[in-house]
Structures are given as structure tokens and as C-alpha cells.
Amino acid sequence: MTLIKKVAVIGAGQMGAGIAQVAAATGYNTLLLDNNEDALKRGLAGIDKQLSRAVEKEKITEEDKKKTLANITTTVQVSDCTDCDLIVEAIIENVEIKADLFAKLDVLTPPETILASNTSSISITKIASACSNPNRVIGMHFMNPVPVMKLVEIIRGLQTDDATYEKIKAISEEMGKTTVLAIDSPGFIVNRVLCPMINEAIFLLQQGVAPEDIDTGMKLGTNQPMGPLELADFVGLDTLLYILQLFHRELGEDKYRPCPLLIKYVEAGWYGRKTGKGFYTYE
């Protein structure tokens, strides 16, 4: 018996597909929802590939893979998630678009359904204010790559009630994750510390230090699996810039000023791995 039966994940990008994979592997009936059919196809193909790799490495059996895939269905209709116990939103980082979606979900779902956002930076309090039952809105921030990373940051908005928090903590643990409780302030815990560190590495690059030296220095000097520039390429330079601009604006301190070199890279369309070029070049 699992804690909940049915989960919807909205947004079939890298994060949404990863969350759906983990939810399905936990045994939840998982609905992956995206308004773009191609994104759904890509999301499912990515999950299939990850599971096949896990079978090859003998981490899971072929039977486990089949069961996980059988737990996933896809849809383009938001109205299909009315019978879910939990909905995890993982769409674009845009406060108006998210608020609009939550307002729709608020009307479509019964008050017992928990509405979670995987936002990495937007105020949960603000998203919750779009709902008539804001007590059931919460932040559930997974890390990339979701199937590998052990952490879920939980963020309570001003309106989130204790029952919603306790349930999300228990569900996250059932999904094999460890949780931390963050405050509803830009970047929560992980991005608040991580993004300024990466920004500082980009300032060093701008001053003429070689990227490999920065990354090797941080990898071997602080035991991180990826150096900050490699990680920036992995997260996406556009995402990183968006987060730093938000910190600068909302926290109001110059220490969050995005490095001009980062702005230039984003202007050039060099977003990192997803575009084949960032601080490094990819096949």
C-alpha cells in the first residue's frame, strides 16, 4: 500500500519527466501532462532510456521497468487530473503562467488534492494566492537529475497548513528522497547558495582563469561531483541568469549581480548542454 494512489506531473521537460519516473517507480499511478504532444513523447522516451540503462546496469529488473512504464499515462488535458491525490507542477518559471495554472487546478480538483510546485525560485505564497484553498499549496523542489538526486526541498507558503506539509514530507520519503524545510525566499536553500557560487566562478573566468582550472579546483578542492561551470552548463545558463536576476531584484543586494559574461553567453544563445555550447562544447 502506498501513501497515495494517483499523481499528476504537469510539464514533461527534464524535471517533470524525472519526477514522473520516480513517482511511477514508487508505485503511484502517474499521469504525465503537457500541452505539447512532442514534449510528452520526448519525456516518455527519456524515461524509457533511463530505465533501460538501469536494467543494463542490473540496478533494476526488466520486470521493474515494465511496471514503472505501465504506471505512466500521458495527456494534454488539464481536466484529466481531477481525481489525483497530488499534482506536481513542473512548467516554465513564469509567475503569471504558474498562477494561472494553479487557479485552474483549484477549480478542477477537490480540496483534498495537494497542489505542489517544483519551482526553483518563485514565491509559493504568491502561487498559492491564486487559489481559493491556498492551505493545500506547497513547494516540492526536486534536483536535477531527479532519479539520482536524493533531495527534495519543501517550501511552505504563508498559507500552507501543517497537514499538507506532513503529507508531502511523507510522500517525498516514500519516493526515496530526504527532505529539508526551506523558507519561502528566492532560491530557497540550494539555489540561494549554489547560484552565487557559480556566478563567482564565472567572474573568475571573466578575469582570465581557465575553465578547466576553475572546475578541477572546485571538484578536487571541495569534493563536488561537477565543477561550477560544468554544473552551470548542466542546469542551463538561461535558467541560472533568470535565478540571479530574480535574487538581484528581490533580495536587492549587489552581491547577486549576474556576471556580465553570463549575460553575454545567454545573449549568444549559448545555454549549455541543451544547446550544445555553454562554457564547454558538447556533441
Q: Where on the chain is the footprint of ligand 3HC (CB under 6 A)? A: 50, 53, 57, 59, 120, 143-145, 147-149, 190-191, 194, 225-226, 231, 235, 239
Tell me, yes or no, if 79 is annotated catalytic.
no
Where do runs of H (alpha helix) occur along the chain?
14-26, 37-56, 62-70, 95-108, 124-128, 162-174, 190-206, 211-222, 228-235, 237-251, 260-267
Q: CB 70 → ligand 3HC: shortest distance, Å?
A: 20
Please identify which of the residues 89, 141, 199, 230 carries the catalytic annotation.
141
Q: CB 153 → ligand 3HC: shortest distance, Å?
A: 9
Q: CB 48 → ligand 3HC: shortest distance, Å?
A: 12
**For ligand 3HC, which is the closer residue by CB, 111 or 276?**
276
What order do you get walking across the sheet with 86-89 strand by strand?
72-75, 29-33, 6-10, 86-89, 114-117, 137-142, 151-156, 178-182
Would you say 248 and 221 are in contact if contact means Cβ atoms under 8 Å apart? Answer: no
Tell me, yes or no, if 112 is annotated catalytic.
no
**For ligand 3HC, which is the closer residue by CB, 104 or 234?**
234
Angle at 139 between CA 193 and CA 190, to 5 degrees: 10
Helix (H, G, I), strand (E, B) or coil at 86: strand
Residue 73's DSSP bridge partners are 31
What is the distance between the alpha carbons of residues 99 and 92, in angstroms, rounded to a whole number? 11
Q: CB 266 → ligand 3HC: shortest distance, Å?
A: 15
Please identify which of the residues 71, 117, 120, 172 carries the catalytic annotation.
120
Residue number of the CB atom closest to ligand 3HC:
120
**For ligand 3HC, which is the closer residue by CB, 4 or 15?**
15
Tell me, yes or no, if 120 is annotated catalytic.
yes
- Residues with catalytic function: 120, 141, 153, 191
